[in-house]
Structure 1
Amino acid sequence: MRCRRGHRQSGDDVHFPSCQPAFAMNRDPVHFRKHLSAVDTIFFDLDGTLYLGHKPIAGAARAVGRLRALGKCVYFLSNNSSKSKRQYVERLRAFDIPATDDEVILSTDSLVAYLRAQRIGRVHVLGTRGLCDAVAHAGIAVVDRNPEYVVIGYDTELTYAKLAAACRHINAGVPMLATHCDLFCPSEDGPLPDVGSFLEMLKAATGKSPEQIFGKPTPSMLAAIQARAPVDPARALMVGDRLYTDMRFARNIGAKSLLVLSGETRMDQLSATDFSPDFVLDSVADMV
């Protein structure tokens, strides 16, 4: 095996089981571990997977460390656009999980890549200072007048004045982009409104929906990783707590999926989903 960024591309004779709802009922860690040899790269969701709000998931740091020791390349993926990469690196390190900026992939990365590709120079941002800084750092002006797009992010600094300013631009015909689609963000105090909830509110007020949404489950997140290093999705594993973002993302890029029950999803929800995971464990602590 090669790592940390030396991805092995060759296959072997170890295969994952097919993605069937009945298989997803198997929560045996030993059964999961038998398939780790077919994995070179692991994508970890953050909120609800490695930590919940300000509390780490028990055993998460040990699991990530053991997987790296086994030669797995690790990336940390989050739709949460309220913070910068540096803030996520610092949070992970506070939970004894070493990380670098290049290992943290945010929905913001896909958004910025799109704006650059479209040669967009001016946007109005409904989002945190961290999101505004990330956009500005990419050379795109964050403005209050004559924007080419209104960008909707997870705004933990939200005010009515900011909502009203975004609505004025949207009502004037400026198209919207959204960093991600999550309806709520998990926390130790329960679910809190996320971008998906903001979009529903904006649609109720303006009648408009975003022109494009980034982040999981769109393949744009994989493109952000592959811009840094070659990754074979067939030998990758997505680990997360959400069916409609994490598990669907794995399906969309052709990776395998591990659902952990430490965040949003409950076991009884698996019978009604179209995005059944390949594996289910109580938490990342059971991976190794």
Structure 2
Amino acid sequence: MKTEPIIKNTHIQAKTKAPLYTEAYSITKAMEDDFHSHEFFEIGITLEGEAIHKTMEEEQFLQRCHVYLIPIGQSHSITVPTLWRVQNLYFLPRLIFQSLDSTISATPLLHSFLLKLVQKASASTVHFCLSEAATLDIECLLQAQKSTRISNQQLLEHYRSNCLLNILMVLCDAYFEAYPGELQKTDGRIPRLLSILHSTIGLPTAEIIHEISLELALNPQYLNKLVNKTFHTSLSNLILETKLEKSCQYLLGKDTITETAQALGFYDHSHYNKYFVRYFGISPSQYREKHLI
């Protein structure tokens, strides 16, 4: 299996400390992969060849233009008969949603798409197809991201980040063409709720719920119904999963694991470790070792 060098989008990574990057795999011989899961959200775009994508629920044939979305912790495997080339995007959806908030606020459709990715973070795998024109657009953006001659590092990272954002826009357009029924108007209170959640993320869960309730002038029971309708989970669970993704920022910094747990309002180290393993499939120390370069 041949792999192109990872291109990290460190401009966004600096804001989130999340492993946000794109990576190309080119598999040139028959291979059957074992079932595995990831501690990040994965988008796979088939650019060449054929493969069989298996999850616990279904089996999907992949060829050029096919896209799959794999939520955090969902198991999948790939079987390649002869040749398969895929471009993967990896990120933590809640943190990316937060870091791109100022950009997506002016782009309602992208705002809706990223909200869908947050929802899909705890849902099942999704497949859809790009048009050939859209696939060519993505290939051009990937080539531009790799071959630019910008010498200033800060400008280079902004440029690469914008290339990735444009790829997300292409995927957004194709997703809603494939699933027009999901193109629904988002309750205007949801972005505000998420903003309050991120700004109070270091508080215990009960206090965060209290703050959101005060800011939105809604009682906790109604808030829970609102979150359940949008994200298909409870408010307390949305807070927990956001805390866990946010903790990746601390794990890739200088904080100890105990300090990370305390900074995000977990009861203690063991509770934090238990929930982290349940959500990501690996421990905080394994995550730090894997992503801290």
Give TM-score scaled by structure 1 length: 0.30
Relative contact order: is structure 1 or structure 2 higher (C-alpha 8 Å, sep ≥ 6)? 1
Q: 1 or 2, which has the higher helix percentage? A: 2
